[in-house]
Structure 1
Amino acid sequence: MKLKSMVKSMTKVGLGLVMAGSVLVSCNDDDDNQGIAPNDQTIAGIVTSNSSFSTLSQAVTKAGLGATLSGNGEFTVFAPNNAAFEASGITSATLATLTTDQTKDILLYHTLASKVASSAVPAGPNAKVTTAQGDPIYVTKDARGVFVNGWKVNQADIMASNGIIHSIERVLLPAPGNLVETAQGNENLTYLVAAVVRASQGNTNVANVLASTEGLTVFAPTNQAFINAGFPTIASIQAADPDVLTSILTYHVVGARAFSSDLTNNQALNTVQGGTLLVNIGNQVTIKGRTNSTASTVIAPNVLATNGVVHVIDQVLLP
Structure 2
Amino acid sequence: MIAFLALTALVQTVFGGNLVEVLQNNGHTTLISLVQQAGLADALLAGEYTIFAPTNAAFAKLPQSTLDGLQNDTTALANILKYHVVQGSIQKADASNELQLETLAGTKIRINIYPHNNVVTVDGSMITAFDLAATNGMVHVIDTVMMPPTGNIVDLVVGNSDLSTLLSKVQSVGLAGTLQGDALTVFAPTNAAFSKLGSAALDSLNRDPQLLKEILEYHVVPHTEYSAGLYNKEHLRTMDSHNDIIKLGVSSTTGVTLNNIARVTQADISATNGVVHIIDHVLIPNRYQHSIPVGRK
Same fold flag (TM > 0.5): yes
Aligned-residue sequence identity (percent) comes to: 33
Judging changes above 3 Å, is the alpha-carbon distance between structure 1 residues 195 and 62 closer, same or farther for their aligned structure 2 residues? farther
Checking the alignment, whether the CA contact within 8 Å between 2:71 and 2:77 is kept in structure 1 is: no
Gaps of 5+ in 2: 1-15, 286-297
Q: Give 2:38's aligned residue.
A: 63
Distance 2:143 2:85 in 1: 15
Partner SS, residue 207 of structure 1: coil
Q: Give 1:254's aligned residue.
A: 221
Checking the alignment, whether the CA contact within 8 Å between 1:53 and 1:80 is kept in structure 2 is: no
Amino acid in structure 1 at the alignment position of 2:141: S
Q: Give 2:9's aligned residue.
A: none
Does 1:317 find its partner at 2:283?
yes
Q: Considering only CA atoms, is the larger Rg found in Structure 1 or Structure 2?
A: 2
**Alignment equivalent of 1:107, drawn from 78, 81, 84:** 81
Checking the alignment, whether the CA contact within 8 Å between 2:193 and 2:280 is kept in structure 1 is: yes
What TM-score, normalized by structure 1, do the two folds share? 0.69
Partner SS, residue 210 of structure 1: helix
Q: Within 5 A, what are the aligned runs for 1:232-243?
A: 240-241=206-207, 243=209
- Give the aligned length: 260
Partner SS, residue 282 of structure 2: coil
Q: Within 5 A, what are the aligned runs for 1:16-35?
A: none
Superposed CA deviations along residues 138-191 of structure 1, whole A, max 9, x for unmatched, are: 224557243212321123333434323222011223332221102222344333
Amino acid in structure 1 at the alignment position of 2:272: T
Q: Give 1:288's aligned residue.
A: 258
Judging changes above 3 Å, is the alpha-carbon distance between structure 1 residues 183 and 159 closer, same or farther for their aligned structure 2 residues? same
Does 1:127 find its partner at 2:99?
yes
**Alignment equivalent of 2:58, drawn from 84, 96, 105:** 84
**Alignment equivalent of 2:270, drawn from 283, 304, 308:** 304
Distance 1:61 1:227 in 2: 50
Q: Give 1:276's aligned residue.
A: 245
Q: Give 1:209's aligned residue.
A: 178
Superposed CA deviations along residues 112-146 of structure 1, whole A, max 9, x for unmatched, are: 1122233x332x22222222333222224557243
Distance 1:86 1:184 in 2: 30
Amino acid in structure 2 at the alignment position of 1:43: L
Q: Give 2:188's aligned residue.
A: 220
Checking the alignment, whether the CA contact within 8 Å between 1:279 and 1:285 is kept in structure 2 is: no
What TM-score, normalized by structure 2, do the two folds share? 0.73
Deviation at 1:262, TM superposition (A): 4.0
Q: Give 2:138's aligned residue.
A: 164
Does 1:263 find its partner at 2:230?
yes
Distance 1:83 1:104 in 2: 20
Checking the alignment, whether the CA contact within 8 Å between 1:254 and 1:270 is kept in structure 2 is: yes
Checking the alignment, whether the CA contact within 8 Å between 1:59 and 1:95 is kept in structure 2 is: no
Distance 2:157 2:164 in 1: 8
Distance 1:112 1:246 in 2: 39
Checking the alignment, whether the CA contact within 8 Å between 2:183 and 2:273 is kept in structure 1 is: yes
Judging changes above 3 Å, is the alpha-carbon distance between structure 1 residues 177 and 264 closer, same or farther for their aligned structure 2 residues? same
Cα RMSD after superposing both structures: 3.1
Amino acid in structure 1 at the alignment position of 2:238: T
Distance 1:163 1:191 in 2: 47
Judging changes above 3 Å, is the alpha-carbon distance between structure 1 residues 132 and 240 closer, same or farther for their aligned structure 2 residues? same
**Alignment equivalent of 1:43, drawn from 8, 19, 40:** 19
